[in-house]
Amino acid sequence: MNQFGVRLPDLPDEILLMILKKLSNTDVLYSLLNINDERLDIIAKEKIFSNILDFVSFDPLSSIDRFKLEHFCFDILPKIHENVKCFILKPDLMECVLLASDYPNLTELQLFNFKEEFVLPYFTSVSPLRHIFQEQITDLILVNNDIDKLSEPSNNYTVNVYEHTLKFFKRLKHLNIIGSVKMSSPLLSLIDLPSNTFHSSILTYLSIDVCSLDDCLHLLDGRLKQLTTLNVRISYIDSSLAIIHNMDNLTLMTCFSLKCDSQINLNDTNFLPLFRRMSNLEKLTLYLRIKDQDRFADGTLLQNEILVHMPHLHSFIFYICTYINTDGLQNQLSSEDIQRTFTNIGQHVVSMINHSSCETITCSVFSIPFTFDRLHDIGHMIPNTRFNYVTYLVVRDVIPFNRKFFIQVARAFPLLMTCRIFNRESQSCQFTDSQSYEIAEYPYLTYLDILCGNIDYLEQFLNETKTYVPCLTKLRVVYNNLRIVTNKKVFRKYRSMGDIDYLQLVLSDFTLKQLFYINWFNNNLDIGVANRNMKIIELLRECTGDKLEKWTSITIEQSLMAINGLDFLSRTEEILLDAKLRTYLTSKDCSDTIIEPYVQKCCDTSLTIAFGRKITIFKMDRTYTGTIAHGNCSKCMKQYSHNYFMDQGKKYVTYNSIFNSDLIYLGGNYGYDKQFIVWLSNSILYLYSGFENFAKCY
């Protein structure tokens, strides 16, 4: 501005303040304090520039940032120390910043990159920061990045970290614990812990991720007596355990928010009775996905089951998605029918109905404006509204998505970062070369999942003449589809995947062996088993020996989507295949099984396998055929079979070769199941036991 004869100090205070408000407070203080300009010095010391100070961007390993930090600690903070009300820090900067001066008005602390081993040493009676933490801090925000602790039992982390923190900060009234990314931090779990765990008589605000609905009910059982606001994000809402909760009315509760990404069954939980206790509630936020219902969650259901119990409610923000099996749906309703049921609620509501699969109808209802960051299972019809906060989107339908659909998605979701497409149908209504069309622009999209989508949708996103995705770094896709698409000339830039830093294929997440096991367990484990996905993980650990320490219920859901994408066999197909195999084997001259040697190695060397004769094997209920496999040792020249080995022309039987096998084969054309041998021996003994002298001979 000097070329026009105007300097920064020449600007009026109003314009100068407008400019400085666009900068961070730390930049303003670092740039304007101590520059020998009294007017700018006074402006920089204004409370608006010194009440909240954010040091998260400072890197202690950077020489420039270290110099800036020293300047703050020795020159700036002592001058504005009385104005500071809130610090935003990382653990490695806590000590140098908080000990740089006294901060009599400091009451709020935000800690990013929170990890147990880095932070808890400061939450002790010998900590140099103890006085600040225990006597001043009333508002605490922890951005938890303890991802390594996710594999540990939630109860342990609850006691060691969450319970300890709440006890240590003696004046704490507001506590907000969030993950660095969604549900990425260890969850609060109060089940099986004493009733005084995570107890406070002064906490009024709590926002936290919990394991289950039971943990939410524990928080509301009286241990937080002054709680007026509760925001919970629940990992799952399963059938409530046989626990008797305190069901007293929550007369102080004025704000309640509950969000759960997992599908829930309202009939099996204590979910709905919870709202009958909140008669003084003023603000309610719900994010729910409901399954196994015989009707859609519409305005009538919400009014009768929830809102009627809250006469003081003046803010209701919600997204509720219902999944109904088409076999159990008695009346076919339209989006307009659902929307009319919200007439008496007195706010703008959008409803959408689509077929998420051939057997499932999905109904989504939500308040406008849409304030959530995730949206699941919308179909081919995009409502005429903007979703300005949504970064995660799942689109699912049996009706094909055309080019116009993806253009509409780009317009409606301007900040979209993750998009997952579930649609096997080929893209419809293709534009011809003579038609004009715009390019769908996704400027922030980093993760695209088309593992369960038609190849046309992969072509849609990788074709630069159709879609603009400058930030795409993570792609989840069937490899063969990617190979086919990128062989076309228009995709030349993607052939080396140079613009995609991380290509996530199905085999990158799971081994084929794991997928086969998961598919079999999923096909054969009863659908009504509680915690079904966790049971599958337990079975998988036993069968494969893999630790799977970081696997969760979501991991199994992801594997099942991968299995769906690879088109594995269903339970019905397994049964049909088994029947066809039995029919074939009884009508053809082929073996049911390979009868392997009882050892695989000799002289520390793997045996060379050779196949021999086919034999008939007798079982209790049937006979079947088998092919004998011999193992030859190249060093000692021994030959191993199923129940014996040959050495220099002589046959030897060992203990292990007999007792570790269910099959007895000692040569010839026949083998015998061990149970069959036992039955035959018992029958002979019984038959001849009456003969004289038999006992003596035996």
Distance CA 311, CA 280 (A): 7
Listed in sequence order, the residues at least 6 apart from 4 whose beta carbon sits closer than 8 Å to its beta carbon are none
For tokens 């830093």, what's the residue? Answer: 501
Phi, psi of 510 (to 5 degrees): -140, 145
| Tokens encoding 203 | 């906490």
413 and 354 inside one domain? no
Q: Where are the alpha helices (DSSP H) in 51-92?
A: 63-71, 77-80
Report whether 635 contacts 606 (CB < 8 A).
no
User: Which residue's structure tokens are 């074939």?
Assistant: 584
Q: Measure the CA–CA gap between 394 and 141, rounded to whole angstroms.
A: 30
In order of 162, 227, 234, 309, 552, the CA distances from 206 in angstroms are: 12, 8, 14, 23, 25
Residue 194 lies in a domain: no
Assess whether 351 and 424 both reside in one domain: no
For residues 345 and 421, membership in a common domain is answered with no
Q: Is 537 helix (H, G, I), strand (E, B) or coil?
A: helix
Q: What is the spatial distance between Cα 490 and Cα 476, in angstroms, rounded to a whole number?
A: 20
In terms of residue numbers, what domain contains 490? 403-428+437-515
Residue 492 lies in a domain: yes
Q: Are residues 368 and 271 in the same domain?
A: yes
Same domain, 416 and 343: no
Please choose, from the candidates 90, 12, 83, the residue with its C-alpha nearest in 3D space to the C-alpha of residue 54.
Answer: 90
Please name the residue that has the structure tokens 């936290």.
208
**Looking at the 3D structure of the chain, how many domains does it have?**
3
Say whether both 412 and 341 belong to one domain: no
**What is the C-alpha to C-alpha distance for residues 32 and 45, in angstroms, rounded to an integer?**
9
What per-residue confidence (pLDDT) applies to 206?
Answer: 97
| Ranges under pLDDT 70 in the chain | 1-9, 180-184, 238-245, 268, 328-331, 428-436, 488-512, 527-528, 558, 561-575, 578-592, 659-660, 685-698
pLDDT given for residue 691 in this prediction? 53
**Other Cβ atoms closer than 10 A to 264:** 19
Q: Is residue 413 part of a domain?
A: yes
* pLDDT for 112: 92
Same domain for 409 and 348: no
User: Using CA atoms, how far apart are residues 460 and 458, in angstroms rounded to an integer?
Assistant: 5
Burial 505-526 (b: 16+ CB within 10 A, else e): ebeeebeeebbebbbbbbbeee
In a domain? residue 187: no
Task: Compute the residue count for the chain.
Answer: 698
Task: Among 350, 372, 394, give the residue marking a domain's end.
Answer: 372
Has residue 188 been placed in a domain? no
In a domain, residue 124? The reply is no
Cα–Cα distance between 50 and 28 in angstroms, integer?
9
Q: For the chain, what percentages of helix, strand and coil (3-state, to nearest 5) are there?
A: 35, 25, 40
Task: Compute CA 321 distance to the chain's CA centroid, rounded to the nearest angstrom.
Answer: 18
Task: Calculate what percentage of the chain has a pLDDT beyond 90.
Answer: 34
One domain for residues 410 and 492: yes
| Three-state DSSP state, 383 | coil
Question: What confidence tens digit (pLDDT) does each residue in 120-160 have?
Answer: 889 988 899 999 999 999 999 999 988 878 777 888 999 99
Residues 6+ apart with CB under 8 A from 71: 30
In terms of domains, do 360 and 423 share one? no
What DSSP letter does each residue of 297-350 carry, written as one string? --HHHHHHHTGGG-TT--EEEEEEEEEEEGGG--S---HHHHHHTTGGG-S-EE
Strand partners, 625: 616
Residues 6+ apart with CB under 8 A from 579: none
pLDDT at res. 486:
75
Where is the domain boundary, 515, 549, 584? 515
* Residue whose tokens read 């076309």: 488
Say if residue 300 is in the same domain as residue 352: yes
Q: pLDDT of 407-456, one tens digit each?
A: 999 999 999 999 999 998 888 655 544 456 789 999 999 999 998 889 99
Rounded Cα distance between 601 and 595, Å, is 16
pLDDT digits (tens, 9 = 90+) for 88-117: 999 989 999 999 999 999 999 999 999 888
What would the two tokens of residue 63 be? 């020489």
- Model-wide pTM > 0.75: no
283 and 339, same domain (yes or no): yes
What pLDDT does 89 receive? 94
CB atoms within 10 A of CB 324: 21
Does residue 442 fall inside a structural domain? yes
The reported pLDDT for the residue numbered 83 is: 93
Q: Is 400 helix (H, G, I), strand (E, B) or coil?
A: coil
Residue 359 and residue 413 share a domain: no
Tell me if 670 is assigned to some domain.
yes
